[in-house]
Amino acid sequence: MNGYGFDLVGARLVALPSGALHWPEERCLAVSDLHLGRSERYARRAGALLPPYEVGDTLARLDADIAATRARTVICLGDSFDDLDAGALPEPAALWLTRLMAGRRWIWIEGNHDPGPVATGGEHRADLTLGRLTFRHEARAGAAGEVSGHYHPKVTLAGRGIRCFLVDGARVILPAYGTYTGGLKADDPAFCALMGPGALAILTGQVARPMPMPMPRGRNGK
């Protein structure tokens, strides 16, 4: 599947080129920052009427990843919905999501955009510990075996911005999976406080490719 495999505190994980994280041993798939309902939220708040295709676009990719990994557990790492009202998806999207959720364990981790339960099935958790790994929205300094999202990391390479995973011995930070999401450059100071030496950035795209995590300029080898 063109994924990139790595170990995190003894768990064998695969970063998929789509930006999802696969844990084959647990048949578990984690995605972060879907921001479903973003265009609807903008419209509701009298903002712009953005092209209303992002929910379908995001769900189509998630559908393909679930099908390919035959995941039994899906963990959405927060900011799954752009706000709590966005949980009321338009009917075709809601049906699609219901179909994806059917027959598997589905966990919604709370994020800053969706800090409470939304009107969708599944479990709602502040965080979740599964085996050796802890899943939460925003990384905590000093945590080990942690899978999180929130920051939307990306790197700029060969003149374009590419969403990426950030991985070191203690944690992995997932890229944003939602179509209507931006990114925070991986050399942002926010990341150096979290990531240890030797951290990797794993690029999404056609193939998940590792590269050393870029450090803030002027601080190489800090």
Partner 1 sequence: MRSLPAPFHDWFAARGWSIHPHQQVLLDRATAPATLLVAPTGGGKTLAGFLPTLVEVAGGTRTGLHTLYISPLKALAADIRRNLTRPVEEMALPIRIEDRTGDTSYTKRRRQRADPPHILLTTPESLALLLSYEDAPRIFAGLSRVIVDEVHALAESKRGDQLMLCLSRLQTLAPGLRRVGLSATVEDPGAIARFLARHPDPCEIVHADPGPDPDIAMLETEAPPPWAGGGGRYAIPEVLAEVRRHRTTLIFHNTRAQAELFFRDLWLANEEMLPIAIHHGSLAREARERVEAAMVSGALSAVVCTGSLDLGIDWGDVDLVIQVGAPKNVKRLVQRIGRANHRYNAPSKALLVPANRWEVVECQAALEAVKAHDLDGDPRGPGPRDVLCQHILIAACSGPFAADALFAEVTSAGPYAALSRPEFDACLDFCATGGYALKAYDRWQRLMLKGGLWTLRDPRAARDIRMNIGTITDAEMVKVRWQNRMGGAPLGEVEESFASTLTPGETFLIGGQVVRYVGLREMALEVTPAPGREPKIAVYSGTKFSTSTQLSQRILRMLGQESWPELPTATAQWLALQREVSRLPAPDRLLIETFPSEGRAHLCAYGFMGRAAQQTLGLLLTKRMEEEGLNPLGFVSTDYATLIWGLDPVPDPAALFDPAALREGFDGWLAGNAVMKRTFRNVAVVAGLIQRNHAGARKSGRQATFSSDILYDTLRRHDPDHLLMQVTREEALRGLVGFGRIEALLSRVGPRIDHLALSRVTPLAAPLFLEHGRVPVDGAARERLVEETAARLMAEAGLG
Interface positions with partner 1 (CB under 8 A): 39-40, 43-44, 46-54, 56-57, 90, 151-152, 157-160, 162, 176, 179-184, 198, 200, 203, 205-207, 209-212, 217-218
The smaller minimum CB distance to partner 1, of residues 75 and 162, is found at 162
The smaller minimum CB distance to partner 1, of residues 23 and 180, is found at 180
**Which token pair is 205?**
């795209």
The smaller minimum CB distance to partner 1, of residues 115 and 198, is found at 198
Sort strands 160-167 and 171-173 into parallel, antiparallel or unpaired: antiparallel
Task: Report the C-alpha gap between 220 and 105 in whole angstroms.
Answer: 43
Closest separation in Å from C-beta 139 to partner 1: 13
Burial of 81 (0-12, 13-18, 19+ CB in 10 A): buried
Closest separation in Å from C-beta 48 to partner 1: 5
The smaller minimum CB distance to partner 1, of residues 10 and 189, is found at 189
Question: Which residue from 129, 180, 133, 130 is spatially nearest to 152, judged by alpha carbons?
Answer: 180
Closest separation in Å from C-beta 164 to partner 1: 10
The smaller minimum CB distance to partner 1, of residues 48 and 193, is found at 48
Phi first, then psi: what are they for 188, rounded to 5°?
-70, 140
**Which token pair is 150?**
């929130």
The smaller minimum CB distance to partner 1, of residues 10 and 212, is found at 212
Residues 6+ apart with CB under 8 A from 218: none
Length, in residues, of the chain: 222
Closest separation in Å from C-beta 142 to partner 1: 22
**Which token pair is 163?**
């969403």
Type of residue numbered 222: K
The smaller minimum CB distance to partner 1, of residues 103 and 218, is found at 218
Closest separation in Å from C-beta 79 to partner 1: 10
Of the chain, the end-to-end C-alpha distance in Å amounts to 35
DSSP 214: P
Closest separation in Å from C-beta 221 to partner 1: 11
Residues 6+ apart with CB under 8 A from 144: 9, 170, 171
Closest separation in Å from C-beta 163 to partner 1: 11
